[in-house]
Amino acid sequence: MSYQVLARKWRPRDFAGLVGQSHVVQVLGNGLASGRIHHAFLFTGTRGVGKTTIARILAKSLNCVEGVTAEPCGVCENCVAIDEGRFVDLLEIDAASRTKVDDTREILDNVQYAPARGRFKVYLIDEVHMLSTHSFNALLKTLEEPPEHVKFVLATTDPQKIPVTILSRCLQFNLRRLQTDEIAGQMRQILAAEEVEAEGEAVSLLARAADGSMRDGLSLLDQALAAGEGLSEKAVRDMLGSVEQRHIHQLLQALAERQPGAAIAAIGEVFGQARSLSRLLQDLAEALHRIALIQQLPDYRDDSRADWEELTAMAARLDSEDVQLYYQIAVTGRRDLHLAPTERSGCEMTLLRMFAFAPMDNPDGSASGRSSAPGRPIGEDARGLASAASGAVDAAPKPVPSPEDSPGAVAEGGSATPSSASDAPVLTAENWPALLARLGLNGSVRTVAALLAFSETGDGYITFTAGRDDLFMMTERFKAALTSALSAHLGYEVRVSIRAVDEVDLDTPARREQSRRDASQAEAEDAIDKDPLVQRLRSRFDAEVLRDSIRPLDTRSH
């Protein structure tokens, strides 16, 4: 007898055998038990979560010789025929290969005829979103008022492409992606029935690689079993090209200890083992995601990971803002890996970018906003470069601007104001945008600072206001960078205070810049409309100006 793949051999035969779709099973079971059976069903969900399987079980429930039931017997001639794919009253149609309207009309011409053997004629249309617009129109009337002996079951991975007129005539069930532990549990049951020895971590690796799809998971299990007797973690890692957890821990430890050499060594070891460096960045991003959850959610716990204790310890060592930065760099680096000269160089540059953007601790334990390799002094040029990369500015004292260069003349404030107040620049609501442009802040800090509106000065404080919805971006690191830049520019120590308000029309540099851009855009569009050549083209050829293509000529320097 020929070998039958696990995904087909262990396909559920009844609702009780389904994994992870209890919300669908409950509704269908209650409807079948009470006789409230709709004439059209739509099952949506990603690949391999059970759409076609549920449709076949539903067909058995409707045509079982024992009667309409939520628990078909599975042994009668109708149930056996459906399981074997030879039941004449279950018509499985692949919409991807029969998209034309003529194909749909040919199918619908037979709807009027009574079922040959069963109680109902069931039309299972898979990937229904692939039908053409004309095919949907042909299906619409029949779907709305089908004969009593006909049931439609539609399945799709992309419900957004189905017309709302079709959706409104169906009972829609959204099948969810399966959890890793659900896939792993089903695999263990299958392995026990198949009498195959398996290591726990090997099954977990396969379940994670399945990415929410039971069918994908069983296909991977088939591939792993074909490699030899038993199921070992090493064999599964070799098959998947997976990275060992110790490599991820080495990278996390290198980030925590600011040791780029250790990170490069770990990448070299992974590369030497012919593992996927893209998978390395993916696993690193996943580990950082778990660390962020541990830091932000005190009650969070995931016992499915074997390295939970290591991640918990690392969460206590890494700064939460650094974790967010590392995660973004890992995701972006993996996305752009194919653009690098080689996969290894792209992976190494991604990790080095994390070190370049990481803050360097001062002796007092505070973050300076600069980064360097351990033990290497930062020169003046390197200091400025690292400051721009990390989102802060160099806090070294700068010469106090002369009165003619200053935005104002006299600074307000208390003890923090320098002794020669007349020589100090003053900060006001009017000159705040101009001063911000001269602070030398890098892009991210400058962008957030542009959301602040100047409020007042006094008692050594500079008070800004910000919209309540923008307040989450005003982190302590941002405040430290802005305070350092303002103190250096004004020539005396200041403290920054930010007050949240509900107003949406704050006089911020960002709003002023947007108003300037809107005015420039309006002038450019007006100039195009008044251009004689454009007017002649409109008049002679009934031409239309694409306003989205108009860009003002901005000669301002930035």
Instruction: Look at residue 234 in the predicted model and tell me its pLDDT.
Output: 81
**Does 265 score more than 90 pLDDT?**
yes
Tens of pLDDT, residues 92-101: 888 888 777 8
Sign of CA dihedral 438, 439, 444, 448: negative
How many CA atoms lie within 13 Å of 120's alpha carbon, on the beta-carbon side?
24
Separation of alpha carbons 284 and 292, rounded Å: 12
- Report helix, strand or coil for 107: helix
The arithmetic mean of pLDDT across residues 332-359, rounded, is 90
Instruction: Look at residue 152 in the predicted model and tell me its pLDDT.
Output: 92
Beta bridge partners, 174, equal: 44
Tens of pLDDT, residues 175-192: 998 888 899 999 999 999
Instruction: Look at residue 199 in the predicted model and tell me its pLDDT.
Output: 86
Instruction: Look at residue 406 in the predicted model and tell me its pLDDT.
Output: 38
- Give the model's confidence band at 242: pLDDT under 50 very low, under 70 low, under 90 confident, else very high: low
User: Which residues are CB-neighbours of 4 under 8 A, at least 6 positions away?
Assistant: none
**Does 32 score more than 60 pLDDT?**
yes
Instruction: Look at residue 180 in the predicted model and tell me its pLDDT.
Output: 86
Burial classification of residue 88, based on how many CB atoms lie within 10 Å of its CB (0-12 exposed, 13-18 middle, 19 or more buried): exposed
User: Which residues are CB-neighbours of 417 under 8 A, at least 6 positions away?
Assistant: 411, 424, 460, 492
Instruction: Look at residue 124 in the predicted model and tell me its pLDDT.
Output: 92
- Give the model's confidence band at 241: pLDDT under 50 very low, under 70 low, under 90 confident, else very high: low
Instruction: Look at residue 507 in the predicted model and tell me its pLDDT.
Output: 87
**Does 41 score more than 50 pLDDT?**
yes
Q: Is 204 left (phi over 0), alpha (psi -120 to 50) or beta?
A: alpha
Burial classification of residue 533, based on how many CB atoms lie within 10 Å of its CB (0-12 exposed, 13-18 middle, 19 or more buried): exposed
- Report helix, strand or coil for 458: strand
**Does 116 score more than 70 pLDDT?**
yes
Of 56-65, 356-365, 472-481, which gets the smallest average pLDDT? 356-365
The CA-CA-CA angle for residues 54, 57, 58, to 5°, reads 85
Tens of pLDDT, residues 128-143: 998 888 888 888 888 8
Instruction: Look at residue 201 in the predicted model and tell me its pLDDT.
Output: 84
How many CA atoms lie within 13 Å of 530's alpha carbon, on the beta-carbon side?
6
Tens of pLDDT, residues 379-394: 333 333 333 333 333 3
Of 89-103, 234-248, 357-371, which gets the smallest average pLDDT? 357-371
Instruction: Look at residue 304 in the predicted model and tell me its pLDDT.
Output: 62
Instruction: Look at residue 351 in the predicted model and tell me its pLDDT.
Output: 94
Highest-confidence range of 222-226, 346-350, 374-378, by mean pLDDT?
346-350
Instruction: Look at residue 418 in the predicted model and tell me its pLDDT.
Output: 43
Instruction: Look at residue 554 in the predicted model and tell me its pLDDT.
Output: 60
Separation of alpha carbons 532 and 543, rounded Å: 13
- Give the model's confidence band at 460: pLDDT under 50 very low, under 70 low, under 90 confident, else very high: confident
Mean predicted lDDT score pLDDT of the chain: 81
Separation of alpha carbons 155 and 55, rounded Å: 8
Residue in 454, 449, 434, 453 with CA at minimum distance from that of residue 482: 449
**Alpha-carbon dihedral angle through residues 80, 85, 89, 91, given to the nearest 10 degrees:** 160
Instruction: Look at residue 398 in the predicted model and tell me its pLDDT.
Output: 39
If one compares 139 and 377, the residue with the highest pLDDT of the two is: 139
Could you tell me if 180 and 207 are in contact, meaning their C-beta atoms sit under 8 angstroms apart?
Answer: yes
User: Which residues are CB-neighbours of 76 under 8 A, at least 6 positions away?
Assistant: 64, 65, 66
Instruction: Look at residue 252 in the predicted model and tell me its pLDDT.
Output: 93
- Give the model's confidence band at 208: pLDDT under 50 very low, under 70 low, under 90 confident, else very high: confident
Instruction: Look at residue 425 in the predicted model and tell me its pLDDT.
Output: 66
The arithmetic mean of pLDDT across residues 416-433, rounded, is 64
**Does 311 score more than 70 pLDDT?**
yes
- Give the model's confidence band at 300: pLDDT under 50 very low, under 70 low, under 90 confident, else very high: confident
Separation of alpha carbons 200 and 206, rounded Å: 10
Separation of alpha carbons 126 and 515, rounded Å: 52
**Does 13 score more than 50 pLDDT?**
yes
The arithmetic mean of pLDDT across residues 145-152, rounded, is 89
Contacts 24+ apart (CB under 8 A), 470-473: 471/498, 471/500, 473/448
Instruction: Look at residue 255 in the predicted model and tell me its pLDDT.
Output: 93
Strand 453-458 versus strand 40-44 pairing type = unpaired
If one compares 425 and 5, the residue with the highest pLDDT of the two is: 5
Separation of alpha carbons 467 and 469, rounded Å: 5
Describe the chain by its helix, strand, coil percentages, rounded to 5.
50, 10, 40
Instruction: Look at residue 102 in the predicted model and tell me its pLDDT.
Output: 80
Instruction: Look at residue 391 in the predicted model and tell me its pLDDT.
Output: 39
pLDDT > 70 in the chain, percent: 84
